[in-house]
Amino acid sequence: MNLLGQRIAGLIAAQGPISVAQFMTLALHDPDYGVYAARNAIGRAGDFITAPEISQMFGELLGAWCVAVWHQLGKPQPLRLIELGPGRGTLMADALRAAKADREFSAQIEVVLVEASAPLKAAQQQVLAQSSFPLRWESHLSGALLNQPFLLLANEFFDALPLRQYVWKDERWHERMVTLVDDALTFAAAPAPAAGLSVPSARGAPEPGAVYEISPSAIALCEEIAHAVQRQGGAALIADYGYAQSGFGDTLQALSSHTPVPVLHDPGSADLSAHVDFTALSDATTPAGANPFGPVAQGDFLKALGIEARAAALIRANPAAADAVARALHRLTDDTAMGRLFKMFAITPLASAPPPGF
């Protein structure tokens, strides 16, 4: 077992089994050995590759989306442009370059990057060093950041938020825990049924062994964003992989160098993520009375925003890059690649028009 595994085993030996959510938090965020503290997880050389790392077109179109939505909302000023989990900073750099074309928009924005990982924050600072926009970093999304009109972007952020899992056993839901058996980290259902858990009936009747997943932090965050959108004016665009229609199933996965590995093996040595439950996110906007849009397939969204014309323009400007641009276009939009599994979900104030792409 690696050092973080030993640290987690020590914690379990001292206090008993931990939830899957606690395990994810430790594996991703341990300040010494966690994925985001210690690994260069994102990109070709890392564990997984994300849409903005595939092509500049992704960030550019999201930048253009922000400008268009700002106009739709009646140009609220001043405006904060917030990104959750900006990774290597690529999306924001591309979005700002595209947004610069609109002087009115870019003259009054403040850019806030919300990043928990120190090495990734350093990478973002480097990529954005030449930017002419006022930039600021925060380690988490505080309520104070949402106290004025804002546009918020989050790509592959929600899939990394801690997840709780429950297993259907003996006609009851039992929380799936991480425990120690013969000195190895192992999943085990809690002996007592989970108290106070309410599973939406729309999911149907569970079979023995069914797994119900819920990310309380994703839901709480979405609720907070929806309240702020409704109160301050603004919009959020959440892009991630996951289901539009929720069912049962264990979707927690670990990726190391683009290859799936066992989730509990050598924590911190592989990225952990799970499907985003867009129904749960959409439901979380209801208490605020905000408008949820989508989810729509990433391929459809990017095409509606003009990715094919953008690809053609890039090829005209640099014919030598034609194959690379065509490959990136395919990867981002095709149903057999990221086009369908990845989805876009937006939150806008009640009664606002559908944002571009929805």
List of residues contacting ligand SAH (CB under 6 A):
36, 42, 50, 52-53, 85-87, 91, 114-117, 120, 140, 155-157, 160
Smallest gap, in angstroms, from Cβ of residue 29 to ligand SAH? 7
Displacement of CA 65 from its chain's centroid (Å): 18
- Secondary structure of residue 148 in the 3-state scheme: coil
Picking from 209, 217, 222, the residue whose alpha carbon sits closest to that of residue 250 is 209
d(CA 123, CA 129): 10
d(CA 184, CA 77): 55
Smallest gap, in angstroms, from Cβ of residue 61 to ligand SAH? 14
Structure tokens at 30: 């341990």
Nearest residue (CB) to ligand SAH, 137 versus 243 = 137
Q: Which residue is nearest to ligand SAH (CB)?
A: 85
Nearest residue (CB) to ligand SAH, 34 versus 292 = 34
Structure tokens at 121: 């924050």
Nearest residue (CB) to ligand SAH, 42 versus 190 = 42
Smallest gap, in angstroms, from Cβ of residue 301 to ligand SAH? 15
Instruction: Provide the residue type at 228 as one letter.
Output: A
Nearest residue (CB) to ligand SAH, 157 versus 168 = 157
Picking from 177, 196, 180, 198, the residue whose alpha carbon sits closest to that of residue 188 is 177
The vertex-221 CA angle with 215 and 226, nearest 5°, equals 125
Tally helices (H) and strands (E) across the chain.
Answer: 13, 16
Note the residue count of the chain: 358
Nearest residue (CB) to ligand SAH, 57 versus 190 = 57
Smallest gap, in angstroms, from Cβ of residue 273 to ligand SAH? 8
Smallest gap, in angstroms, from Cβ of residue 90 to ligand SAH? 6
Smallest gap, in angstroms, from Cβ of residue 215 to ligand SAH? 11
Nearest residue (CB) to ligand SAH, 121 versus 174 = 121
Nearest residue (CB) to ligand SAH, 193 versus 224 = 224
CB atoms within 10 A of CB 78: 11
**Using the 8-state DSSP alphabet, how is residue 45 labeled?**
T
Smallest gap, in angstroms, from Cβ of residue 95 to ligand SAH? 11
> Where does 273-339 have alpha helices with state H?
278-284, 298-304, 307-317, 322-333
Q: Residue 201: CB partners within 8 Å, gap ≥ 6?
A: none
